[in-house]
Amino acid sequence: MTHKEKAEELLQQQYHCSQALFGAFAGDFGLDLKTAFKVSTCFGAGMRQGGTCGCITAALMILGMGIGFYDSQDREQERYGNKMTEEFIRRFTEKMNHRVYCRDILGKDITIPEEMAEIRQQGLILKNCPNVMQISIELLEEMLAAHLKEVSESKIALEDIPENNDMQSVLKRMSKHNRFNRNVHNLLFSSGKEIGFIQFDIRKFKIVNDIYGEKFGDEVLDFIIRQLREVCHEDQFFINLRSDVFMVVTEFERKEELISLIETLNERIRCFKDIKLQLSFGVYMVEDRNMELRQMEDRAAMARKSAKHNILTNILFYQEQLKDSLYNRKFIEENMQSAITDRQFQMYLQPKYSITQNQIIGAEALVRWVHPKRGMIYPDQFIPIIEENGFVTKVDYYIWEEACRFLRKCLDQGIEPCPVSVNVSRVHLRDHGECIQILSHLIEDYGIPKNLLELEITESADDQQISQKAMLLKAEGFTLLMDDFGSGYSSLNILLETPFDVIKLDKKFMENMMVSGKGRMILEQVVSMANKLDLGLLAEGVETREQIELLRNIGCDQVQGYYYAKPMPEEAFFTLLAADSETSSLDGD
């Protein structure tokens, strides 16, 4: 039965035109009619709403399936698909004399009950729609046949055609993808060995293009292809998926064979024209051969993306937990801007206390992400990601302004404000003065004394550029706190080079120093050193009475930690500060 005969038969059975047309081609794609009707019902609803003829929607779905589009990230294939779509719509519109809406084809509006009744009474669907479907089928058969002819010829001819034609270039790539998928499919179901998918890319390939030019970048990719041809034997299939992402599918018996192949590739590819290339490899060892190829590729891709962010190794094997990690990363990256726009990021404040006075002497501004569906997302889940992609600057600006707004609120309501410290990341300390301008503008806009907004810089931020920026911040009149003192190996060097006003003893440093007499002696000497250097000293992460007593005895009065209070929402801290101020006032009286 021809496509035309099948479509007319389904139309006679009173299926909508989108269902009839798509159903006529269902067998070509291995679909049963029930599945085809479900698909066309979901996507071919145009005519049932009185809009664009359902034949157009069904035809575009048939084109997509016939040509084999499956990867929304493949921009070349997407452009090719758009051209095919435009061609079909143009030719269909011409043949229909620009009658592409149901009301124009039927002469009546199916969204109006009275007119729909007339359509049924007069049998207008069976009178007018077969011609529309015939036009659609003729165009589809012609376009699909032309496409198959081009692809068939391209299997040989396109290998030697210069890629100066967009259509030819895409067809060449599609031909390679089709052959690769066919070879991998055959390997999966013919080999008695284990099968591994190895996917790799070049770390920071964009920088290579930016520095040396895209022509050089293309040379790098050609170089990798040559190396793959030399290394891979006839049953090891490889392909350049896109840009700098490559994949190799191979048989193996032991995991060590995969590692050996990867090490060989890494050794041969890692240097090109004296330029060192850092590669990241992700490996998926196939467990279920009936899984779709795309899912196998995705698992290798997940491992590869995780390897890109791993400082210990450039080879990672897929594990199920990688899926959760990468989904979480994708969620954060896709939602971080709306979190700023919708004010999902919230400032929490953790009080700083004086042991001897037993009152609040300051607070640290911290960020929490309260998502409308996920609820609380804690900093350890999103801070590393936004630090890596640079979005941390926007979050910092947001919290800086929230801190200034809070201080202004205290002043306006007659509550004596305490200094609030905000974190200044390494990204800010390496900018060209933007953070200084923003901090100064915030101070000016909210009209708050500069000494009320303190800046915390992490100890690990240690280089000359950062020290110079800290000097500029100090010259602007800001109070500087060294955060996490004792967490690394450069504390004393930074103290020597950077004009800090206060050092904050790291929680782990505190815990380690309290387990022995020698440790307590070191802690006591740190306090003595701070006093001699005229530096303020604050102990972080204080949780026990024992820690409080030790700090009191060695002369460290300022503390921050769960012993006194956990980080809390702004309103809760405002209430606590107001009560603390009132108590302090009464004690003064």
Q: Which residues are catalytic?
A: 540
Q: From CA 192, how far away is CA 187, in angstroms rounded?
A: 9
Q: How many residues does the chain have?
A: 589
Whether the CB-CB separation of 321 and 329 falls below 8 Å is answered with: no
| 174-to-14, 141, 300 alpha-carbon distances in Å | 38, 20, 21
Q: Which two tokens stand for residue 401?
A: 């302004």
CA angle 385, 401, 348 (to 5 degrees): 65
Give the distance from CA 536 to its chain's centroid: 41
Q: From CA 433, how far away is CA 479, in angstroms rounded?
A: 17
Q: What's the DSSP call for residue 487?
A: S
Whose CA is closest to 283, among 303, 263, 267, 311?
303
Whether the CB-CB separation of 246 and 269 falls below 8 Å is answered with: no
Strands, E, within 157-218: which ranges?
A: 194-202
Burial of residue 451 (CB within 10 Å: 0-12, 13-18, 19+) is exposed
Q: What's the DSSP call for residue 424?
A: -
Whether the CB-CB separation of 363 and 347 falls below 8 Å is answered with: no
**Beta-carbon contacts of residue 487 (< 8 Å; ≥ 6 apart):** 459, 460, 506, 508, 509
Tell me, letter by letter, the H, E, C secondary structure of 3-58: HHHHHHHHHHCCCCHHHHHHHHHHHHHCCCHHHHHHHHHHHCCCHHHCCECHHHHH
Which one-letter amino acid corresponds to residue 18?
S
The residue behind tokens 């692809």 is 151
Q: Which two tokens stand for residue 309?
A: 């962010």
The residue behind tokens 């051969």 is 289
Q: What's the DSSP call for residue 451?
A: G
Q: Please give the torsion angle defined by the CA atoms of residues 541, 544, 546 and 552, in that order, rounded to the nearest 10 degrees.
A: 50
Whose CA is closest to 452, among 406, 396, 397?
406
Whether the CB-CB separation of 278 and 314 falls below 8 Å is answered with: yes
Tell me, letter by letter, the H, E, C secondary structure of 299-341: HHHHHHHHHHCCCCCCEEECCHHHHHHHHHHHHHHHHHHHHHH
Q: Which two tokens stand for residue 289?
A: 């051969």
The residue behind tokens 């010259």 is 475
- Kindly tell me the sign of the dihedral angle through the C-alpha atoms of 381, 383, 385, 391: positive
Whether the CB-CB separation of 367 and 349 falls below 8 Å is answered with: no
Whether the CB-CB separation of 32 and 14 falls below 8 Å is answered with: no
Helix/strand/coil for 376: strand
